[in-house]
């Protein structure tokens, strides 16, 4: 009887231990691996300070839990993550906007992500804007926790406008023709050597980034029409792309680098005080906060809408950012992970993002705190949310975007006409549209 009693006792103890580490999330102990990307700089030029602080706070309140952070540049996130998913070696958590295709919808169907619904009661979800939750909703479930919403806008260096005696657009709104005329006046030879060294406009073209797309949509095109047919080889799309290309090749109001994939160089040309050779550039709203608060890039600027084309109203691109949790085998670890995600997406966190990172809160409670009362540039950008188009939800959007952006680069490199590039893009992506 004694051996049998010992066996039963051992089994019971083992079951209790398993219960304590899997059912009670707070009792789980172990290592969590997260990926994160750079955000706003602190006084030491550290762009990961916010997440490092949040990790330290969580580890302090959860003895036995260690969180390891892998730092990943935003431009490399999609590729690295897809490699990790293919190898089934994904992190436990990462900052992902699923509408942008970094995680494919097929991946969700394959069970790569964990739904958050079981861990967020309805009263908690009610604090999020419906549009923010929509960015993570697929087949009736929510696959991530929204942290922030963004919008694209034009940033105008007011010192260059003043230098050239050019009036900024009244109330931040202008037509395409008005925009072109001002860009011509803002393009000039500053040092008198006979060469143009300051330009009116510039931007970059790179898969996964859509600063140029509101201009591509200004005459009425979008990615897809209401019947879900491809809409970027239409006369409206060709008309818009011709106008944008003319900025470089006909009006000559852009540097030669306009339309390349040089993200960093484009921003430096606008914001670096040692350069500032471009008067107007489109950026996502994070750049607004950078130019307002960064000791290195702080400058005199305003925010304006994209110019109005044949559509008859301004247009812009919006997105939702947040965090996703990847598939877990251990229930206790999953609960601890969800607890951590909740701890970094609070109202206070979203207010901190709004004030320092140039994003708009995904929580109603954070927006109600009026985070932009002292920043008219962000307040103006917030009003542009009325005119937003979201990145389309499509299982193969990453591949579609890759082919389209490659063709746009060829236009701005002078290798293809707008008509040829958009038609070639359509041919290349047909197989993804079925």
pLDDT, one tens digit per residue, over 92-122 is 999 998 766 667 788 899 999 999 999 999 9
For residue 385, being part of any structural domain is answered with: no
Residue 421 has pLDDT above 50, yes or no: yes
Residues 216 and 297 in one domain: yes
Residues 282 and 229 in one domain: yes
Residues 407 and 295 in one domain: yes
pLDDT at 1: 44
For residue 417, being part of any structural domain is answered with: yes
| pLDDT confidence bin for 24, thresholds 50/70/90 | very low
For residue 384, being part of any structural domain is answered with: no
- For residue 238, what are the CA distances in angstroms to 97, 326, 405, 420, 423? 29, 41, 14, 9, 9
Residue 66 has pLDDT above 90, yes or no: yes
Residue 16 has pLDDT above 50, yes or no: no
Residues 38 and 82 in one domain: yes
pLDDT, one tens digit per residue, over 345-385 is 999 999 999 999 989 999 999 999 999 999 999 999 999 98
Residues 169 and 303 in one domain: yes
pTM of the model: 0.83
For residue 425, being part of any structural domain is answered with: yes
For residue 19, being part of any structural domain is answered with: no
Question: Region 25-53: what's the mean pLDDT?
Answer: 92
Number of domains in the chain: 2
**Domain containing 72 — which CATH number?**
3.40.190.10
pLDDT at 107: 85
Mean pLDDT of the chain: 92
Residues 339 and 209 in one domain: no
Residues 118 and 216 in one domain: no
Secondary structure of the chain in HEC code, one letter for each residue: CHHHHHHHHHHHHHHHHHHHHHCCHHHCCEEEEEEECCCCCCCCCCCCHHHHHHHHHHHHHCCCEEEEEEECCHHHHHHHHHHHHHCCCCCCEEECCHHHCCCCHHHHHCCCECCCHHHCCHHHHCCECHHHHHCCEECCEECCEEEEEEEEEEEEEHHHHHHHCCCCCHHHCCEHHHHHHHHHHCCECCCCCCCCCEEEECCCCCCCCCCCHHHHCCCCCCCECCCCCECCCCHHHHHHHHHHHHHHHCCCCCCCCCCCCCHHHHHHHHHCCCCCCEEEEEEECHHHHHHHHCCCCCCCEEEECCCECCCCCCCEEEEEEEEEEECCCCHHHHHHHHHHHHHCCCHHHHHHHHHHCCCEECEHHHHCCCCCCCCHHHHHHHHHHHHEEECCCCCCHHHHHHHHHHHHHHHHCCCCCHHHHHHHHHHHHHHHHC
For residue 343, being part of any structural domain is answered with: yes
For residue 41, being part of any structural domain is answered with: yes
Range of the domain at 177: 151-318+391-433
Question: Region 251-264: what's the mean pLDDT?
Answer: 97
Residues 163 and 284 in one domain: yes
For residue 132, being part of any structural domain is answered with: yes
Residue 423 has pLDDT above 50, yes or no: yes
Residues 173 and 254 in one domain: yes
Residues 355 and 404 in one domain: no
pLDDT at 101: 63
pLDDT at 99: 63
pLDDT, one tens digit per residue, over 128-146 is 998 889 889 999 999 999 9
Residues 307 and 331 in one domain: no
Residues 228 and 352 in one domain: no
Question: Considering only 34-43, 138-147, 231-240, 388-397, which range has the smallest mean pLDDT?
Answer: 388-397
């Amino acid at each position: 009887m004694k051996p049998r009693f010992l066996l039963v006792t051992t089994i019971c103890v083992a079951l209790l231990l398993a219960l304590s580490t899997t059912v009670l999330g707070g009792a789980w102990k172990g290592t969590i691996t997260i990926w994160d990307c750079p955000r706003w700089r602190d006084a030491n030029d550290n762009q990961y300070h916010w997440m490092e602080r949040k990790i330290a706070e969580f580890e302090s309140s959860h003895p036995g839990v260690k969180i390891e952070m892998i730092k990943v540049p935003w431009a490399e996130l999609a590729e690295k993550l897809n490699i990790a998913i293919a190898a089934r070696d994904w992190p436990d958590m990462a900052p992902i906007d699923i509408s942008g295709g970094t995680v494919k919808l097929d991946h969700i169907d394959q069970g790569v992500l964990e739904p958050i619904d079981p861990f967020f009661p309805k009263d908690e979800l009610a604090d999020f804007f419906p549009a923010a939750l929509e960015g993570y909703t697929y087949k009736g479930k929510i696959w991530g926790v929204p942290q922030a919403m963004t919008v694209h806008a034009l940033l105008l260096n007011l010192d260059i406008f003043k230098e050239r005696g050019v009036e900024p657009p009244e109330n931040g709104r202008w037509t395409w023709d008005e925009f072109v005329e001002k860009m011509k006046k803002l393009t000039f030879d500053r040092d008198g050597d006979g060469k143009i060294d300051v330009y009116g406009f510039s931007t970059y073209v790179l898969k996964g980034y859509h600063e140029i797309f509101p201009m591509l949509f200004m005459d009425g095109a979008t990615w897809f029409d209401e019947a879900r047919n491809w809409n970027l080889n239409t006369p409206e799309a060709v008309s818009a792309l011709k106008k944008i290309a003319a900025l470089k090749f006909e009006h000559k109001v852009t540097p030669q680098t306009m339309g390349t994939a040089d993200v960093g160089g484009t921003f430096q040309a606008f914001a670096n005080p040692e350069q500032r050779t471009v008067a107007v550039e489109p950026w996502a709203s994070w750049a607004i906060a950078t130019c307002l608060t960064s000791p290195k890039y702080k400058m005199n600027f305003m925010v304006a809408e994209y110019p109005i084309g044949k559509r008859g109203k301004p247009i812009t691109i919006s997105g939702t950012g947040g965090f996703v949790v990847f598939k877990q085998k251990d229930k206790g670890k999953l609960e601890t992970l969800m607890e951590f995600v909740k701890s970094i997406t609070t109202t206070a966190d979203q207010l901190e993002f709004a004030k320092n990172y140039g994003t708009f809160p995904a929580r109603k409670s954070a927006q109600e705190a009026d985070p932009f009362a002292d920043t008219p540039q962000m307040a103006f950008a917030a009003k542009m949310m009325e005119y937003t188009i979201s990145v389309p939800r499509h299982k193969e959007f990453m591949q579609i975007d890759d082919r389209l952006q490659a063709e746009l680069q060829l236009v701005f490199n002078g290798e293809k006409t707008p008509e040829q590039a958009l038609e070639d893009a359509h041919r290349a992506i047909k197989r993804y549209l079925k």
